[in-house]
């Protein structure tokens, strides 16, 4: 099991993101016929729903991602950045707001205005469009012909993060954010659910594609996010003039009123007045490592601590970043192979809450990730009958409300809400 997962992880290292595939992209019109994925109703005797196009078009923001580039906010961003072309013509924006393969890889029905289209996630369809509907088609064979392995957590989160965090090739810089681009955050399980999902994970899905576990997806999402952030920090994107790239740091460690004394860097043992790397995913990884590799958990904690110090005093920060990245790389195949038990879930949930009560979510981005994590884990515990999630609805709603607006976030109220959640888990919602 572990060996096959390891092999799979190595094989994935060569998986090319859809935008850079050598095959032609054929355009949404090639998928959306009512006899294909554009049915209004779901089909009873098909493995897949067949109404994927309708779900995507009506309710998925990806279908409108190109149109965003035509709005007033985008015009303002382009103006402030001094772009030579309008946003909807600039690869700087198109690389994430649509499926943007090079012109030679665009089929006849390809439309730039399709936005983040089917092929932006499922891969250029040139070699699999015909064969994927043959009776003898298998998922593996489709992948060999260029279908992107979206069912695999590691491959999927790399795909999502290529736009939702960015890569060396495409990136939302602090300058772009200061010009008006929103701050970005990502959590794989939550973002997969709110998509909304145009697929159903049922018995035949498991048979065709393997296992699906929301908590494992959350855990892998956190690990890969941390890994990608550290890679960016070490690469050319990590610098902007004299300064490091500020997007990789905690926004609110700089952006708050001076009278609001937070000294949040003290939490990680760095002194007052220090800018802190965005460590929300490291905080989540602490809980994950405790389940998956208890020996690695204290090592990771020590390395992250050393990284914060090195960033603050300028000594071998990049070496430290590399060390944390290497530890996380070793953790990822272990997370992929881990079966999260009832005890793990309870441990993660209470661990997340206790970290908050110890003041670890003094700043917004940690709290934001903690809420998404608590929701995913509570949801899973509810479905597997370990908790009466209905009894927690008010607590979860309160946590969401307290993190809905980063500018209004107050850690004291957040901690109070966590305390209420903890006592409710111990009494009302326990099974």
Residue 237 is a binding residue for ligand HEC (CB under 6 A): no
Task: Indicate left, alpha or beta for 263 from its phi (over 0: left) and psi (-120 to 50: alpha).
Answer: left
- Among residues 198 and 309, whose Cβ is nearest to ligand HEC? 198
- Among residues 150 and 281, whose Cβ is nearest to ligand HEC? 150
Residue 346 is a binding residue for ligand HEC (CB under 6 A): no
Minimum separation from the CB atom of position 339 to ligand HEC (A): 20
- Choose, by CB under 6 A, the member of 21, 26, 65, 373 that binds ligand HEC: 65
Residue 142 is a binding residue for ligand HEC (CB under 6 A): no
Residue 64 is a binding residue for ligand HEC (CB under 6 A): yes
- Choose, by CB under 6 A, the member of 21, 87, 226, 377 that binds ligand HEC: 87
Site for ligand HEC in 246-265 (CB under 6 A): 246-247, 249, 251, 253-255
Minimum separation from the CB atom of position 290 to ligand HEC (A): 26
Stretch that binds ligand HEC, among 95-103, 310-318, 351-359, 411-419 (CB under 6 A): 95-103
- Among residues 229 and 429, whose Cβ is nearest to ligand HEC? 229
Q: How many residues bind ligand HEC (CB under 6 A)?
A: 65
Site string for ligand HEC, 386-415 (x = CB under 6 A): ------------------------------
- Choose, by CB under 6 A, the member of 127, 181, 308, 338 that binds ligand HEC: 181
- Among residues 194 and 326, whose Cβ is nearest to ligand HEC? 194
Residues in the site for ligand HEC, rule: CB under 6 A? 28, 31, 37, 47-48, 52-53, 56, 61-62, 64-65, 68-69, 73-74, 77-78, 87, 92-93, 95-97, 116, 118, 120-122, 150-151, 156, 159-160, 162-164, 166, 170-172, 174, 176-178, 181-184, 191-192, 194-195, 198-199, 205, 209, 246-247, 249, 251, 253-255, 275
């Amino acid at each position: 099991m572990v060996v096959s997962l390891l092999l799979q992880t190595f094989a994935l290292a060569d998986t090319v993101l859809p935008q850079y595939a050598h095959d032609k992209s054929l355009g949404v019109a090639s998928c959306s016929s009512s006899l294909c994925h554009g049915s209004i109703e779901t089909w009873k005797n098909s493995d897949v729903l067949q109404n994927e196009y309708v779900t995507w078009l009506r309710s998925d923001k990806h279908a409108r991602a190109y149109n965003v580039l035509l709005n007033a906010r985008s015009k303002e961003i382009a103006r402030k950045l001094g772009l030579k072309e309008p946003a909807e013509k600039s690869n700087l924006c198109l690389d994430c707001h649509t499926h943007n393969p090079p012109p030679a890889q665009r089929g006849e029905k390809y439309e730039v205005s399709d936005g983040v289209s089917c092929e932006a996630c499922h891969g250029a369809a040139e070699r699999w469009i015909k064969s994927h509907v043959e009776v003898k088609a298998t998922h593996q064979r489709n992948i060999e012909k260029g279908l992107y392995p979206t069912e695999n957590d590691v491959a999927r989160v790399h795909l999502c993060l290529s736009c939702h965090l960015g890569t060396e090739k495409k990136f939302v810089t602090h300058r772009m954010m200061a010009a008006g681009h929103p701050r970005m955050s990502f959590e794989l399980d939550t973002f997969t659910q709110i998509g909304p999902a145009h697929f159903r994970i049922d018995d035949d899905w498991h048979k065709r594609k393997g296992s699906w576990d929301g908590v494992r997806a959350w855990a892998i999402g956190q690990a890969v996010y941390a890994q990608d952030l550290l890679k960016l920090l070490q690469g050319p994107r990590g610098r902007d003039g004299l300064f490091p790239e500020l997007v990789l740091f905690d926004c609110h460690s700089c952006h708050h009123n001076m009278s609001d004394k937070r000294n949040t860097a003290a939490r990680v043992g760095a002194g007052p007045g220090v800018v802190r790397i965005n460590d929300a995913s490291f905080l989540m990884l602490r809980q994950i490592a405790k389940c998956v590799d208890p020996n690695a958990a204290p090592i990771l904690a020590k390395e992250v601590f050393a990284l914060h110090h090195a960033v603050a005093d300028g000594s071998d920060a990049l070496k430290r970043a590399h060390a944390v990245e290497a530890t996380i790389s070793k953790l990822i195949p272990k997370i992929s192979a881990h079966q999260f038990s009832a005890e793990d879930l309870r441990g993660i949930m209470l661990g997340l809450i206790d970290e908050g009560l110890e003041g670890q979510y003094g700043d917004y981005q940690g709290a934001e990730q903690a809420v998404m994590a608590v929701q995913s884990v509570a949801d899973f515990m509810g479905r597997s009958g370990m908790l009466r999630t209905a009894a927690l609805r008010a607590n979860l709603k309160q946590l969401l409300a307290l993190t809905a607006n980063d500018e209004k976030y107050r850690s004291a109220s957040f901690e109070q809400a966590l305390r209420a959640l903890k006592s409710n888990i111990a009494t009302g919602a326990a099974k």
